[in-house]
A and B are shown apart, each in its own frame.
Chain A
Amino acid sequence: MTSPATVPTTARSNPALPEVALPEVAFSVLDSVPEDFNLLRHLLTEQSELTAVELFSNRHVEATHAGALYQALMPTSALQSGQQYAFEVDLDACSGCKACVVACHTLNGLDEQETWRKVGILNSTAVTLPIVQHVTTACHHCIDPGCLKGCPVLAYEKDAMTGIVRHLDDQCFGCKYCLMMCPYEVPQYNASLGIVRKCDMCAGRLEVGEAPACVQACPNSAIRISIVSAETSRPEDANKNDRLLDTAPLNRLTQPTTRYISNRRDIHSPSNEIFSRECAVDAVQPGHLPLVAMLVLTQASVGVWCVVATVLLLNLRSASSVFAASVFATLVGTIGVHAALLHLGRPWLAFRSILGWRRSWLSREAIAFGLYLSAAAIAIACCVFKELNSVATVAVCGTAFLGCLAVVCSAMIYIATRRELWSPARTSLEFVGTTLGLGLATTSLFTEGTAAAVMLLCGTAFCTSSLLPKLIDWRAALKPNLLWSDFSGRSGRLLRVDLRNAFSIVIGCLALGSCLSVALFFVSHTSLRVSIAIPAVVALLVSQLFTRWLYFASVVFARMPGAIA
């Protein structure tokens, strides 16, 4: 668009043309036009002027909005206690026009590609039952919102009156944990702002009696605002396996309030013949590199402290002799904890992360790692000062204990999402494997003799055990006719195709680590031992980094139709 500037009326007047002033035309446009090309000068000038509003319509100040149209889609009674607002979608009326999506984008002034409503599609493979069902979906303003439970900075609130789950944009520090905690993937990360934003059911509009943007904009009146109560919306005796729609996440995770209504028998087919794109094709998920570094390094650090504590408890060594390992572990742990800052959209607000300690495992993790590193400093001091050697064992054990607590918190962060591939068993196997594996392997560097070789070998074994879940998935992919609900098999398919290289690197590193740790038994020369042990530990570290990356990148879970934009 040209920048407005005033141009002096230098065009020679042509009697055939009406006299026009030349306002608001960039110099560049007219300057390039020869003075004797009058018609062009005139036309370019005309093009730069806009249709005068008053020429066409003097009613422009009275433009009306759709108020009267959508009154029938709004609640008719006031909210009683225990009730809340909810979206209600008439699937029979949803024809997939996606006006709701764009209206949400426009009427809420969202960023270029941002919209809080999405439309997914359900198809069928049943030859006798062809269906194409569009599904409009937004925030479900859950009774037990995952986003709110997970948020470490208390940036989510569930309005006591309306039940609307609101996000406090200025409180958010961009940890994106709500993206994992919401089974419907509703919160969206806005990279340019460094925060998450989400649907607020147009709370401001509802306050003044207007319908939310999507409700206003649906040509088919398919979306309405209804009043629900926890009991009627998601009764306790409901089937534990209920879902909003076939292939959607389980209701019991967060108790969504949206109701999808349809008289079409087809779309409630209990068979596996209904599918959405979300369950037919899997994409590699974000690998979260800062989190990978954070998890692996802190776990290695805690692992070392655990080994050191064991050594001290069993009186195998003196406190001062474990000094080097302890310092190294603390250093690694400190780096790990700070790597997490790179994950944040607004890292300078990291101090807020402890606010949610009552309900968020992420807050608890932050506190636990803080305590752990403090304890580590005390424990190191005890090892340094001979006078304190007597309490060193206690301090070291305390540090190891706090470290373990922190690792448990780390695990709970992902377990709390209740994704099947992040189950307690799988997550524990991975995290414990890394903690003990890298702990033993790292400590072996500070140990001599056969003990070092034994430690390294055990470390390799534990590191290998952390790959077990992914090996299971790798195998599961071989099953013929994978069902959409076979997340392990679908994850395995990702491992075999898109993530093949990463998976191979893990296997290679583990193999290298194993060979080197066995070799260590047969070598006695010190410098040669070092040149075997260090590569072995590095190989194990790399294997664990990639394993953790796969933990994120290869995760597959039940997704709401429309989750893939």
Chain B
Amino acid sequence: MIPSDVKTKRWPLPVLHQRTGKLTERLNRETSEIGLGSLPTRKLPDAVMKSVCGFCSTGCGLNIHLRDGVAISVTPDVEYPVNTGMACPKGWESLRVLDAPDRATTPLLRQANGDFQAISWQQATATFCDRFKSIQAEHGPESVAFLSTGQIATEEMFFLGCLTKFGMGIVHGDGNTRQCMATAAVAYKQSFGFDSPPFTYADLELSDVLVFVGANPCLAHPIIWQRVLQNRNNPVLIVIDPRKTETAMAANEHVALMPKSDLALLYGLAHLLIEAGAVDQDFVKAHTLGYEEFRRHVSTFDAQTVSQQTGISVEQLHRLVHLIAGGKRVSFWWTMGVNQSYQGVRTAQSIINLALLTGNIGRPGTGANSITGQSNAMGSRLFSNTTNLLGHRDFTSAEDRQCVAEILSIPVDRIPTKNSLAYDQIMAGIESGHIRGLWVIATNTAHSWIGSSRVRELLAKLDFLVVQDMYHSTDTARLADLVLPAAGWGEKEGTFINSERRVGTIKRASRAPGQALADFSILRLLADAWGCGELFSKWQRPVDVFGAMKQISAGRACDITGIEDYAMLDRCGGVQWPWTVSDAATLGVPPTHRRLFQDGRFYHSDGRARFIFIEPKAVPEPTCAEYPFVLLTGRGSVSQWHTETRTAKSPMLRQLSPAPSVEVNPSDAARLGISYGDLVEVVSRRGRAEVRAIVTSNVQPNQLFMAMHDLQTNLLTLESVDSESRQPCYKHCAVNLRRLKKESGVRYGCS
């Protein structure tokens, strides 16, 4: 900025030593007048809007900086109780991912020659209805299904679930939450009587012993890790993970068990805790059911046996028991290492059992706590109308159907009387030809579904595939017959529900490109075009659906009737469910941190939690001479999100994430003549991947690790699901590894 009264000379004399000038001014910072500290002068906001983050379920609060009403930057919100002024790189770059050349800006229809052509919304909605209706007419209403997401607003999920199942006669619909949270949901439902993660993030700061099972919050949930480090009790940290992760580095006890031996380990710990007299007998007697049977079941899991099965020394087992038994406030935390397993529900329940056994639940700093994956997986679990009827009800229950019909003023016969197929069953339905039309919303099935080489063939087999997404370039959108351009986070309104049951708001702070519309608006258009717009005519804006959500939740465990409106959510820094009208009447303002089961009453009709257990099963694909390695998968970088659909659009985030690679133990690498950075091939019975080798002892011998962000990873994985939750087991399959070329790893990651 040059002061206007200074006239620049046309031919200025050369300056020998120039301390300031235009280049220096480019980086000027100014104290913002609205209390955000110093900010770049070029990006000084005149107002700030609050929104929760749209990536993971931590649910951080963000300040969206506005100038002239348009979003220009994002910083973490200091006042939000989740993140207290911090965010991970994804949150910081939230706005940047909206601006990409491959944003879908108009509906696109696949032509006979295979190319996409831009069409009008009118044509798009007409085509959508014509094609799906004719498929339904020919093959029955069940021949069209939808796959939804944990990434859109709860209001949109709610509307989608109602439109499809009550309006369009679709029976089968599932969400990508099947891939992350189904196990936890089923485990909680069976054990507690409702899908109810009991914790609040403050528990991380109040525990004296924290046990992380199959979780690497350092990378996956950095802001949850922040809360662990804010724990002032000098807590003992136990990390159960086959790999030496960042989180394991910080642990007092890293339990590097053999992959998928977790169930045996947890039963062994239960047995040893019982033997050590660490059972909270009063709690178990008063509030649980099935303890005796459980005790008998785990009695065979003695230290010696468990040590053999898990590769954990007897000494370490005893140390763990000593630490857990000695803890006054022990909390157990798990995520995908447990959920993504062929016996995940029982594994999650074996963690819940430990908490019940030792009475570590319902008190500050305790709990059997599942950390959620996606930003709105919890919203999906409660309100998506897919696996469960709205508000965690049952499609097969006439009473529940009647109740929902009355609340929503829809004819009860519009509600399907049977349960939806799960994700894997929908894929199987496509294979068998029972499902011929598919509508995919804000998820990237072709990359994320397990055994993805087969998935792409299946999607290609469909008569009609509609993909509703922000970008026309996702692996799934490229296979679509029709692409509907959606607005993304930051371009629409609604609410998300995070891991600790906190409902927070998202805002429209940025203009969607071209004719892209909020998913909510797209649903309105489709309802209208389908001819069932009348059913949903009350829902003109997300806030109208929020009202319906409140009504649906009334009297349920997830009661949110006490939440007045979006403004209240902002005012209170989000509100955790349950928050009922009577809570509001008695307490007024919701306390910032609330946990469940403080009274020891669970949601089963008898108020008791259940001990649920099973005999551990063998892995579906054991290693063999031909495929001697176990392939572990997981998050490989804090700066990428899932299939990178959004995060890869940010140059900053791209720069921060490593090139596709496989971690291999030095002893294996030496045997196979592989050096760090070498190009290697990982092969399974289903596919192959070409990646760079990272030689590190963080993975154990005979194990490999690949990040899920790489498209190639799921070409290798084996489609096997947990029979209870139908969640796929991404964390275990047999592969082989070999060096690909004779070159060393030069030119790696550097231009």
Given contacts A60-B48, A281-B745, contact A29 B515 (CB under 8 A): yes
Q: Is the Cβ of B24 less than 8 Å from the Cβ of A29?
A: no
The answer to the question of A314 belonging to the interface, with a C-beta cut-off of 8 Å to chain B, is no
Q: Which residue in A29, A63, A284 is a CB contact (below 8 Å) of B36?
A: A63
In the complex, whether A528 has a CB less than 8 A from a CB of chain B is no
Chain A residues, Cβ within 8 Å of B120: 32-34
A residues near B487, Cβ cutoff 8 Å: 47
Asked if B232 lies at the interface with its beta carbon under 8 angstroms from chain A, I say: no
- Which of B87-95, B409-417, B607-615, B709-717 touches A? B87-95
Question: A34–B123 Cα gap in the complex (Å)?
Answer: 11
The answer, yes or no, to whether B229 is at the interface (CB within 8 Å) is yes
Q: Is the CB of A47 within 8 A of B512?
A: yes
Q: Which residues of A contact B39 (CB under 8 A)?
A: 107, 109
Q: Is the CB of B23 within 8 A of A170?
A: yes
Judged by a CB distance under 8 angstroms, whether A78 is at the interface is no
Q: Give Cα A124–Cα B745 distance, bound, in whole angstroms.
A: 17
Say yes or no: is A391 at the interface (Cβ < 8 Å to chain B): no
Task: From known contacts A34-B122, A92-B250, A124-B696, infer whether A49 and B746 are also in contact, taking CB-CB under 8 Å.
Answer: no
B121 touches A132 (CB 8 A): no
Stretch at the interface among B63-71, B191-199, B351-359, B362-370: B63-71
- Cβ of A32: which chain B residues have Cβ within 8 Å of it? 120, 515
B656 touches A217 (CB 8 A): no
Q: How far is the CB of A116 from chain B (nearest CB, A)?
A: 11
Residues facing B in A268-300 (CB within 8 A) are: 275, 277, 280-284
B567 contact set on A, CB distance < 8 A: 55-57
From residue 102 to 134 of chain B, which have CB atoms closer than 8 A to chain A? 120-122
Whether the pair B70, A50 counts as a contact (CB closer than 8 A) is yes
B670's nearest neighbour on chain A, judged by CB, is A125
**Contacting pair B37 A216 (CB below 8 A):** yes
Residues of A within 8 A of B458 (CB): none
Task: Give which listed residue, B247, B249, B571, B701, contacts A131 with CB less than 8 A.
Answer: B249
Given contacts A43-B521, A99-B87, A106-B73, are A113 and B652 in contact (CB under 8 A)? yes
In the complex, A39 Cα to B677 Cα: how many Å? 56
**A169–B521 alpha-carbon span in the complex (Å):** 48
Which listed residue, A17, A64, A283, touches B750 by the CB 8 Å rule?
A283
Contact of A280 among B83, B512, B745 (CB under 8 A): B745
A193 at the interface (CB under 8 A from B): yes
Which residues of chain A have C-beta atoms less than 8 A from B696's C-beta? 123-125, 130, 132
* Interchain CB contact (< 8 A) of B507 among A2, A17, A51, A195: A51
For residues 75 through 100 of chain B, which have their beta carbon under 8 Å from a beta carbon of chain A? Answer: 75-79, 83-89, 92-93, 99
Interface 9-mer from B163-171, B218-226, B323-331, B552-560: B218-226
Whether, in the assembled complex, B570 has its beta carbon less than 8 Å from a beta carbon of chain A, the answer is yes
**Contact: A57 with B49, CB < 8 Å?**
yes
- The number of chain A residues with a CB under 8 A from chain B is 103
Q: How far is the CA of A409 from the CA of B677 in the complex (A)?
A: 38
A96 touches B524 (CB 8 A): no
- Min CB distance B240 to A, Å, is 15
Q: A43-B525, A63-B35 are in contact. Are A102 and B89 (CB under 8 A)?
A: yes
A264 pairs with B249, CB closer than 8 A = yes
Q: In the complex, A277→B661 CA distance in Å?
A: 13
Determine whether A115 belongs to the interface, using a CB cutoff of 8 Å to chain B. Answer: yes
Closest A residue to B79 by beta carbon equals A64
Give every chain B residue within 8 A of A134 (Cβ-Cβ): 246
Q: Say how far A302's CB is from chain B's closest CB, in angstroms.
A: 29
Expressed in whole angstroms, the Cα–Cα distance for A296 and B84 within the complex equals 58
B492 contacts across to A, CB distance below 8 A: 47
Q: Are A127 and B697 within 8 A (Cβ)?
A: yes
Q: How far, in whole Å, are A126 and B50 apart by their CA atoms in the complex?
A: 47
Task: Confirm or deny: A205 has a beta carbon within 8 angstroms of a beta carbon on chain B.
Answer: yes
Q: Is the CB of A44 within 8 A of B515?
A: yes
| Set B18, B491, B744, B747: member contacting A168, Cβ < 8 A | B18
Considering only residues 95-109 of chain A, those with a C-beta below 8 Å from chain B are 95-99, 101-103, 105-109
Chain A residues within 8 Å of B666, by CB: 125-127
Interface 0/1 of B683-725, CB less than 8 Å to A: 0000000000011111001000000000000000000000000
B17 beta carbon closer than 8 Å to chain A: yes
Which residue in chain A gives the minimum CB-CB distance to B49? A53
Contact partners of A93 in chain B: CB under 8 A: 229
Query: What residues on B are CB-neighbors of A193 within 8 Å?
Result: 23, 26
CB–CB B246/A96 < 8 A: yes
Question: CB within 8 A of B508: which of A39, A40, A50?
Answer: A50
Q: With a CB–CB cut-off of 8 A, which chain A residues contact B92?
A: 99, 102-103, 105-106, 217
Looking at the complex, which one of A44, A50, A60, A102 makes contact with B510 (CB distance below 8 Å)?
Answer: A50
B570, A132: Cβ atoms closer than 8 Å:
no
With A40-B121, A61-B47, A67-B37: A219-B223 Cβ-Cβ less than 8 Å: yes
Q: How far is the CB of B718 from chain A (nearest CB, A)?
A: 26
Given that A51-B508, A69-B85 are contacting pairs, would A208 and B38 also be in contact in the complex, using a CB cutoff of 8 Å?
yes
- B10 an interface residue at 8 Å Cβ cutoff? no
- Whether A130 contacts B244 in the complex (CB less than 8 A), given A50-B509, A95-B250, A219-B225, comes out as yes
Are B491 and A107 neighbours in the complex by a CB distance under 8 Å?
no
Count B interface residues, CB 8 Å.
119
Contact A497 B667 (CB under 8 A): no
Q: Are B524 and A43 in contact (CB under 8 A)?
A: yes
B1 near A: Cβ within 8 Å?
no
Query: A197 contacts which chain B residues (CB < 8 A)?
Result: 27
Chain A neighbourhood of B88, CB < 8 A: 97-99, 219
B408 to chain A, nearest CB (A): 19
- Is A493's beta carbon under 8 Å from chain B? yes
Q: Do the beta carbons of B122 and A40 come within 8 Å of each other? A: yes
Q: CB-CB < 8 A to A220: which residues of B? A: 225-226, 229
Bound CA span A517–B185, Å: 83
Nearest chain B CB to A268's CB is how many angstroms away? 14
Tell me the bound Cα distance from A99 to B37 in angstroms: 18
User: Given known contacts A123-B696, A123-B698, A220-B225, is B566 in contact with A16 (CB within 8 Å)?
Assistant: no
Any chain A CB within 8 A of the CB of B518?
A: yes
Interchain CB contact (< 8 A) of A50 among B69, B84, B218, B223? B69
The smallest C-beta distance from A27 to any residue of chain B, in angstroms, reads: 13
Distance A565 CA – B659 CA, assembled complex (angstroms): 11
B396 within 8 A of A: no
Interface residue B651 (Cβ < 8 Å from any Cβ of A): yes
Q: Does A171 contact B (CB under 8 A)?
A: yes
Measured CB to CB, the nearest residue on chain B to A172 is B23
- Is the pair A219, B524 in contact by a Cβ cutoff of 8 Å? no
For the complex, give the distance between the alpha carbons of A132 and B17 in Å.
46
Q: Which among A60, A109, A172, A282 is the interface contact of B47 at CB below 8 angstroms?
A: A60
Q: In the assembled complex, how far is the CB of residue B751 from the closest CB belonging to chain A, in whole angstroms?
A: 8
* Nearest CB on A from B635, distance (A): 12
Interface membership of B20, Cβ < 8 A: yes
A324 in the interface (beta carbon within 8 A): no
What are some 17 contacts across the A-B interface (CB < 8 A)? A2-B514, A43-B525, A50-B510, A62-B34, A66-B37, A97-B88, A101-B89, A102-B93, A102-B653, A109-B41, A112-B652, A115-B655, A170-B24, A208-B38, A281-B677, A281-B746, A565-B750
Query: Using a CB–CB distance below 8 Å, which chain A residues touch chain B?
Result: 1-2, 16-18, 29, 32-34, 37, 39-40, 43-44, 46-51, 53, 55-57, 60-67, 69, 92-93, 95-99, 101-103, 105-110, 112-113, 115, 119, 123-134, 154, 168-172, 193, 195, 197, 202, 204-205, 208, 210, 216-221, 264, 275, 277, 280-284, 349, 351-352, 355, 493-494, 497-498, 564-565
B positions within 8 Å CB-CB of A: 14, 16-24, 26-27, 29, 31, 34-43, 47-50, 63, 66, 69-70, 73-79, 83-89, 92-93, 99, 120-122, 218-219, 222-223, 225-226, 229, 244-247, 249-250, 487, 491-493, 505, 507-518, 521, 524-525, 528, 537, 540, 566-567, 570-571, 638-639, 651-653, 655-656, 665-667, 676-677, 694-698, 701, 743-751
> 8 shortest A-B CB distances, which residue pairs?
A109-B40, A65-B37, A170-B21, A219-B226, A283-B750, A97-B222, A95-B218, A281-B677
Known contacts A97-B219, A105-B92; 14 additional CB pairs below 8 A are A37-B121, A47-B487, A47-B491, A47-B521, A64-B36, A96-B218, A97-B222, A99-B87, A102-B89, A102-B93, A126-B666, A171-B18, A171-B19, A281-B746
